[in-house]
Amino acid sequence: AKEKPWGGRFELSTDKLAEEFNASIHFDKNLYCYDIEGSITHAKMLAKQGIIEQRECELIIKGLKQVKDEIDKGEFVFETEDEDIHMAVEKRLSKIIGPVAGKLHTARSRNDQVATDFRLYVRDQIDNIKKGILDLLGVIIAKAEDNIDLIMPGYTHLQTAQPILFSHWIMAYFHMLYRDYTRFDDCRKRLNYSPLGSGALAGTTFPIDRDFTARELGFTAPTENSIDSVSDRDFALEFMSAAAICQMHLSRWAEELIIFSSSEFKFIELSDDFCTGSSIMPQKKNPDMAELIRGKTGRVYGNLISLLTTMKGLPLAYNKDMQEDKEPVFDTVNTLLTSLRIFAPMISKVTLNKEKMYRSAQLGYSTATDYADYLVTKGVPFRDAHHIVGETVAYAIKAGKDLSELTIEEFKQFTDLVNIDIYDTVTVESCIKKRNSFGGTSYDAVKVQLENAKRLLKAL
Ligand code: ARG
């Protein structure tokens, strides 16, 4: 392996299979622009500190820009024998500018280099994901405002519970995704420290300026401990944790879309461009995108567990195991970003079957709680009221009637306290109107919620 950049002390060349096994180039080539950005900054710093000459720095930067250009244009040939993106870029650089290229790696190790590249990559992807979430939050608000007083059934245990406003239902997802946004933001804050200049693990003998490189690369400051810097992958784990939670939210929502679009529910119809057909059943329109978003949640969880497991037994500092950090993160980014980018138009184009939602809200004795509350206002303790209404509902089920269809005599079989005004109480409109507690489903409460949500969005 004499021909390798690290080959000085080697006699045998690397075994072919071992070389392939060792190589990360086929996936870490993803990091090329961050690798080159980091190298340009490192070179500038070396020149500023008098570690290399200004002229050498200019040559290195010019060469690195050419390498980037070649990769951008797809002209660059990635080779397994180059091992990883860091060595591939450096090798090409030395082909372009000659031996001066060898000065770039002064006061640096691949260990602090890869940690820097990876943080820059994750930071950029966090920004892309934040943008994706923001777009979806906007779609949610628009849908809620356009359908602010549409009534639908609310569920617990997937059994009819109480009537709710559609706008209230969809705003539940606003709050989940808003928390996701802030989680990514928090993760970004902790990530944003520069490991560059940590060397292999112990720092360097050269008079480097880590504040300069940190600042140039948009980091808040350099990291404080070189050993931790090259062995820490918390930023990737935090990122994948936030992604797993976010994907879980999308998955739950996808599940509701699937149920609500079934022929039994028919509350909504997904737009054709987010569905597919069946190869045998001509009538079918399947919610594949929603199903895949639900299905891919498994891999996003798996990616998190994969890296947690990789990290759990590692001694300080860098170990090659850590090369296994990249594929799970790349896959997570790809899955979550695509899910978000599909979700926003899928929601904005969904058709609401308002009639069906409204009719369903009347079913399943959804107003029974309100009848109990009514008896409470007449002085009955809630537990007793619950019992009386339970008996009334059992009777109504047998009689095949909704509460609103019972005669006053039928009501009175179970309590004398009921009056003709019961018929105003057991309407879905009244149920909703009366749930005017802060955060509740009344029209007025949802209006307040929407105003607050818009304020939250503006402040992001
Ligand atoms: N390809 C390696 C990785 O992704 C780069 C760092 C290698 N460092 C080393 N000392 N072998 O982790």
Catalytic-labelled residue, pool 226, 278, 386, 437 = 278
Ligand 1 centroid distance, CA of 65 (Å): 23
Catalytic-labelled residue, pool 86, 105, 157, 263 = 157
Where residue 212 sits, what CATH number does that domain have?
Answer: 1.20.200.10
Burial label for 360, CB within 10 Å (0-12, 13-18, 19+), is: buried
The bridge status of strand 351-352 relative to strand 268-269 is antiparallel
Ligand 1 centroid distance, CA of 315 (Å): 15
Q: Which residue has the higher pLDDT, 6 or 111?
A: 111
Ligand 1 centroid distance, CA of 323 (Å): 6
On the question of pLDDT at 314 being above 90, the answer is: yes
Ligand 1 centroid distance, CA of 23 (Å): 9
- Tell whether 306 and 403 lie within a shared domain: no
Evaluate whether residue 266 is within a structural domain.
yes
Out of 26, 323, 329, mutate this one to test ligand 1's pocket (max ligand atoms within 8 Å of CB): namely 323
177 vs 171: CA distance, rounded Å = 10
Question: Atom 4 in ligand 1: which residue has the minimum CA distance?
Answer: 323
**How would you classify residue 244: left for phi > 0, otherwise alpha for psi between -120 and 50, otherwise beta?**
alpha
Out of 28, 114, 319, mutate this one to test ligand 1's pocket (max ligand atoms within 8 Å of CB): namely 114
Beta bridge partners of residue 164, listed in sequence order: 152
Tens-place pLDDT, residues 75-129? 999 999 999 999 999 999 999 999 999 999 999 999 999 999 999 999 999 999 9
Ligand 1 centroid distance, CA of 189 (Å): 25
Which of the listed residues 106, 135, 153 is the one where a domain comes to its end? 106
Question: Atom 11 in ligand 1: which residue has the minimum CA distance?
Answer: 320
423 vs 410: CA distance, rounded Å = 13
pLDDT at residue 282, as a whole number: 86
Out of 310, 320, 324, mutate this one to test ligand 1's pocket (max ligand atoms within 8 Å of CB): namely 320
At 5, the pLDDT band (50, 70, 90 cuts) reads confident
pLDDT at residue 158, as a whole number: 96
Tell me which residue range forms the domain holding 444: 363-458
Where residue 97 sits, what CATH number does that domain have?
Answer: 1.10.275.10
Measure CA of the first residue to CA of the last residue in the chain; give whole Å: 53
Question: Atom 1 in ligand 1: which residue has the minimum CA distance?
Answer: 84
- Tell whether 373 and 453 lie within a shared domain: yes
Where residue 383 sits, what CATH number does that domain have?
Answer: 1.10.40.30
Question: Atom 3 in ligand 1: which residue has the minimum CA distance?
Answer: 323
Question: Atom 7 in ligand 1: which residue has the minimum CA distance?
Answer: 110
Evaluate whether residue 284 is within a structural domain.
yes
334 vs 184: CA distance, rounded Å = 16
Lowest mean pLDDT among 189-198, 326-335, 396-405: 396-405
Residue 133: C-alpha distances to residues 291, 310, 328, 379, 407 (Å): 19, 29, 21, 48, 51
Tens-place pLDDT, residues 201-254? 999 999 999 999 999 999 999 999 999 999 999 999 999 999 999 999 999 999
Q: Is the CB of residue 241 less than 8 Å from the CB of residue 124?
A: no
Ligand 1 centroid distance, CA of 435 (Å): 59
The mean per-residue pLDDT over the stretch 139-148 comes to 98
Ligand 1 centroid distance, CA of 21 (Å): 13
- Please give the number of the atom of ligand 1 that sits closest to the Cα of 200: 10
On the question of pLDDT at 8 being above 90, the answer is: no
pLDDT at residue 344, as a whole number: 98
Percent of the chain with pLDDT over 90: 95
Ligand 1 centroid distance, CA of 111 (Å): 6
Convert 118-136 to b/e letters by CB count within 10 Å (16 or more is b).
Answer: bbbbbbebbeebbebbbbb
Residue 192: C-alpha distances to residues 29, 164, 218, 302 (Å): 22, 42, 8, 25
- Tell whether 34 and 162 lie within a shared domain: no
- Please give the number of the atom of ligand 1 that sits closest to the Cα of 318: 10
- Tell whether 99 and 199 lie within a shared domain: no
Evaluate whether residue 116 is within a structural domain.
no
> What is the number of other CB atoms lying within 10 angstroms of the CB of residue 253?
23
335 vs 295: CA distance, rounded Å = 11
- Tell whether 370 and 451 lie within a shared domain: yes
Evaluate whether residue 112 is within a structural domain.
no
- Tell whether 37 and 158 lie within a shared domain: no
Evaluate whether residue 293 is within a structural domain.
yes
Tens-place pLDDT, residues 277-293? 888 888 889 999 999 99
- Please give the number of the atom of ligand 1 that sits closest to the Cα of 24: 1
- Tell whether 369 and 346 lie within a shared domain: no
* Total number of domains constituting the chain: 3
Tens-place pLDDT, residues 27-78? 999 999 999 999 999 999 999 999 999 999 999 999 999 999 999 999 999 9
- Tell whether 196 and 325 lie within a shared domain: yes
Q: Is the CB of residue 76 less than 8 Å from the CB of residue 67?
A: yes
- Tell whether 368 and 454 lie within a shared domain: yes
Q: Is the CB of residue 332 less than 8 Å from the CB of residue 128?
A: no
Evaluate whether residue 36 is within a structural domain.
yes
Question: Atom 2 in ligand 1: which residue has the minimum CA distance?
Answer: 323
- Tell whether 341 and 308 lie within a shared domain: yes
3-state secondary structure the chain: CCCCCCHHHCCCCCCHHHHHHHCCHHHHHHHHHHHHHHHHHHHHHHHHCCCCCHHHHHHHHHHHHHHHHHHHCCCCCCCHHHCCHHHHHHHHHHHHHHHHHHHCCCCCCHHHHHHHHHHHHHHHHHHHHHHHHHHHHHHHHHHHHHCCCCEEEEEECCEEEEEEEHHHHHHHHHHHHHHHHHHHHHHHHHHCEECCCCCCCCCCCCCCCHHHHHHHCCCCEECCCHHHHHHCCHHHHHHHHHHHHHHHHHHHHHHHHHHHCCCCCCCEECCHHHCECCCCCCCCCECHHHHHHHHCHHHHHHHHHHHHHHHCCCCCCCCHHHHHHHHHHHHHHHHHHHHHHHHHHHHHCCEECHHHHHHHHHCCCCCHHHHHHHHHHCCCCHHHHHHHHHHHHHHHHHHCCCHHHCCHHHHHCCCCCCCCCHHHHCCHHHHHHHCCCCCCCCHHHHHHHHHHHHHHHHCC
206 vs 102: CA distance, rounded Å = 16
Closest by CA to 93, choosing from 105, 80, 110, 81, is 105
pLDDT at residue 281, as a whole number: 87
- Tell whether 303 and 384 lie within a shared domain: no
213's tokens:
């490189």
Which of the listed residues 293, 327, 359 is the one where a domain comes to its end? 359
Round the average pLDDT of the chain to a whole number and report it. 96
Closest by CA to 288, choosing from 361, 346, 234, 235, is 346
Tens-place pLDDT, residues 375-385? 999 999 999 99
The mean per-residue pLDDT over the stretch 384-390 comes to 96
On the question of pLDDT at 167 being above 80, the answer is: yes
Ligand 1 centroid distance, CA of 354 (Å): 57
Kindly list the protein residues whose Cβ atom lies closer than 6 A to any atom of ligand 1.
24, 28, 84, 110-111, 114, 318, 320, 322-323
Q: Is the CB of residue 246 less than 8 Å from the CB of residue 221?
A: no
pLDDT at residue 225, as a whole number: 98
- Tell whether 87 and 182 lie within a shared domain: no
Which of the listed residues 75, 106, 137 is the one where a domain comes to its end? 106
Closest by CA to 108, choosing from 182, 171, 44, 174, is 44
Evaluate whether residue 2 is within a structural domain.
no
The model's pTM is 0.95
Check if 26 is active-site. Answer: no
Evaluate whether residue 10 is within a structural domain.
no
99 vs 205: CA distance, rounded Å = 22
pLDDT at residue 454, as a whole number: 98
> What is the number of other CB atoms lying within 10 angstroms of the CB of residue 252?
15
Closest by CA to 362, choosing from 163, 154, 157, 147, is 163
